[in-house]
Structure 1
Amino acid sequence: MSNKAEIDNDTRNNLRSDCSKCFGLCCVALPYARSADFAFDKDGGTPCRHLQSNYSCSIHKNLITTGFKGCVGYECFGAGQRVSQIIYEGNSWRDNKTRAKEMFDVFPIIQQLHEMLWYLSEALDFQATKPIHNDLKITFEETEHLIEQSPQDILKIDVHEHRMKVNGLLLRTSELVRPKTATKKLGKKLKRSCDYIGANLRKANLRGANLRGALFIAADLREADLRLTDLIGADFRDADLSGADLAGSIFLTQAQMNAAKGNVHTKLPANLAIPRHWGKEAQGLVR
């Protein structure tokens, strides 16, 4: 029997990116530097050269091969369509320079608040968090109220302060959901630090571990057991998760999996999709 309860599907869907309803905000508002993740420098507020007049990306199907892995690993948690269609009522940044500046400042704030809503909704989905369900619901509603304000009021939000409040509840969620004896049972391959860049963790038993913010960049996690593991903020860029079991892991996001590698044998939580670049075989897998 699953340790999760049902949660409203509309809530999840509203926290997933829908580029068809967005004015390409992540392609304009956010800056990036030339690196392994981006092929060239771009200033915040400047449209990416690949952004088309209809707000779609001209190289969307080839982002990885053209040097834009960073775009593949980005997730706005539905902030793009909220800012575009709800907060600004379908009025684009292209129509007004003053509005554009405001939209670009509002977007990252909404993105962070939507990310918090995603985590809170997941916390509410666990049966084990019943003792704190009331606090989770109140904080979820408070966060919803913040994103429903005017752009001027949104810009005044102390995101850091609110994040600290949310994080306290997420930590408590992690403690309630993860097995109490998990730390004692971890394999010897697990170091005490959070730096596992390039580490050989193949077949490692990481079940129930607290790996918040861990750096798994280019790590070998093939066939690793990551069930009930707290993975909030973990960096999986270029990590190999082929055959790994992440079913039931805590606070794992689509962006994290989009940045990783996997195959048909990788097991993901039911609320996440198999990334396209994992291959057609994995895409066709029915879990």
Structure 2
Amino acid sequence: MKDHPGALAGLRGDCANCFGLCCVALPFAASADFAVDKDAGTPCRNLRDDHRCGIHARLRQRGFTGCTVYDCFGAGQKVSRSTFGGQDWRTGSPAHARRMFEVFPVVRQLHELLWYLTEALTLPAARPLHPELRTLLATTEALTLRSPEELAEVDVAAHRQKVNELLLKTSELARAGMGGRRKNRRGADLMGARLKGADLRGANLRGAYLIAADLTGADLRGADLIGADLRDTDLTDADLTGAFFLTQPQLNAARGGAGTRLPASVSRPLHWTGGV
């Protein structure tokens, strides 16, 4: 996998080349994010025979906000087209379908790690770690290419720990270049916090709970946002230029607008401008 920003494009969901795996393999419970309950391995009632969503353009209006913030990091097409060679879960045996549904969450987690490692290689300040990052990137990619039986045995938690240790070092190098006092808010409970206009340049916000926090106009340049919970966080007019380890699902769960400045690795969510 190439270590430049364009490589991240291959780590986004491509529903046209997937068999609707996220709509079948994953469970969800009736809540503010989903209108109904659904068990793992059971097709969503909105999934059509062609593997497309029957209410895609109206998901939020129909109570399926959770679907609009989800992204598989490209795992859906990897499992559908590579791991299982294009064999649909609908046409295979029940055992084949079960194995596909079992493997999908594993590959999804590995692809999320690929996203972080690929982005880390775009950070100039992390150049001293680039050899290690490339090695771990190649190792992670190799894991995703294993057979279904081998994938089911992968210890994702142990591999994630190795990746996280290197990403922590990457974060320290990247944020050191921001200068000034870099706030450490790792894992902090900031739910509903009033942080309007806050100076969070180079802040460590890894795993921070920012649910419904007011970050309007906040300066988040160069902040580490890996694992931060941004559900309903108000990012209106906030500056996230250069913020890293921010994923599309995180951003999709937040609120923002045309004035929100974003890093090149993510796209402005459609629902910020009145879309799905």
TM range (shorter): over 0.9
Match runs of 1:54-203 below 5 Å: 54-96=50-92, 97-179=94-176, 184=181, 186=183, 194-203=188-197
CA deviation after TM superposition for structure 1 residue 183, in Å: 7.4
| Inter-partner Cα distance in structure 2 for 1:183 and 1:213 | 22
Within 2, Cα distance between the matches of 1:22 and 1:183?
A: 46
Q: Does 1:216 align with 2:215?
A: no
1:28 equivalenced with 2:32 (yes/no):
no
Indicate how the Cα distance of structure 1 residues 185 and 80 shifts in structure 2: closer, same or farther if over 3 A, else same: closer
TM-score, length-normalised on structure 1? Answer: 0.91
Q: CA deviation at 1:218?
A: 1.1
| Paired positions, count | 274
| Secondary structure, counterpart of 2:112 in structure 1 | helix
CA distance in 2, matches of 1:76, 1:136: 22
Instruction: Spell out structure 1 runs of 4+ moving beyond 4 A.
Output: 180-183, 190-193
Instruction: Work out the CA distance in 1 between the residues paired with 2:185 and 2:246.
Output: 21
Residue 39 of structure 1 and its aligned partner are, at CA, apart by: 1.0
Contact 1:182–1:209 (8 Å) recurs in 2: no
Which segments of 5 or more consecutive residues in structure 1 lack a partner in the other structure? none
Q: Pick closer, same or farther for the CA change 1:141–1:245 going to 2, 3 Å.
A: same
Structure 1, residues 118-174: CA drift from partner, whole Å, max 9, x if none?
A: 000000111111111111010000011111111111111110110000000110010
Output the TM-score relative to the length of structure 2.
0.94
**Counterpart residue number, 1:251:** 245
CA distance in 1, matches of 2:179, 2:20: 43
Partner SS state of residue 95, structure 1: coil
Matched, 1:242 2:236: yes
The alpha-carbon deviation at position 60 of structure 1 amounts to 1.3
Contact 2:185–2:208 (CA under 8 A) maintained in structure 1 = no
What RMSD over aligned residues (CA atoms) do the two structures have, in Å? 2.0
Deviation at 1:84, TM superposition (A): 0.6
The residue that corresponds to 2:42 in the other structure is: 46
1:271 deviation in Å? Answer: 1.9
Letter in 1 for 2:226: I
Match of 1:269 among 247, 263, 266: 263
Q: Is the 8 A contact 2:186 2:207 kept in 1?
A: no
Task: Name the CA distance, whole Å, in 2 between partners of 1:152 and 1:73.
Answer: 30
Distance change >3 Å, CA 46–CA 177, structure 1 → 2: same
Distance 1:192 1:161 in 2: 21
Structure 1 residues 77-97: Cα deviation after superposition (integer angstroms, max 9, x where no partner): 000000011111111111121
The letter of the residue matching 2:59 is L
Gaps of 5+ in 2: none
Cα-to-partner distance string for 1:65-84 (whole Å, 9 max, x where unaligned): 22112111111000000001
3-state secondary structure, aligned to 2:90: helix
Kindly indicate whether structure 1 or structure 2 has the higher relative contact order, using CA contacts under 8 Å at least 6 residues apart: 2
SS of residue paired to 2:121: helix
In 2, Cα distance between equivalents of 1:224 and 1:59? 35
The one-letter code sitting in structure 2 at the alignment partner of 1:229 is A
Following the alignment from structure 1 to structure 2, what is the Cα–Cα distance between the partners of residues 193 and 168? 16
- Kept after mapping to 2: 8 A contact 1:218/1:236: yes
Shift of 1:13: 2.1
**1:104 Cα shift?**
0.3
Supply the AA of the counterpart residue of 2:121.
Answer: L
Distance 1:212 1:192 in 2: 5
Relative distance call for 1:236 and 1:50 in structure 2 (3 A) is same
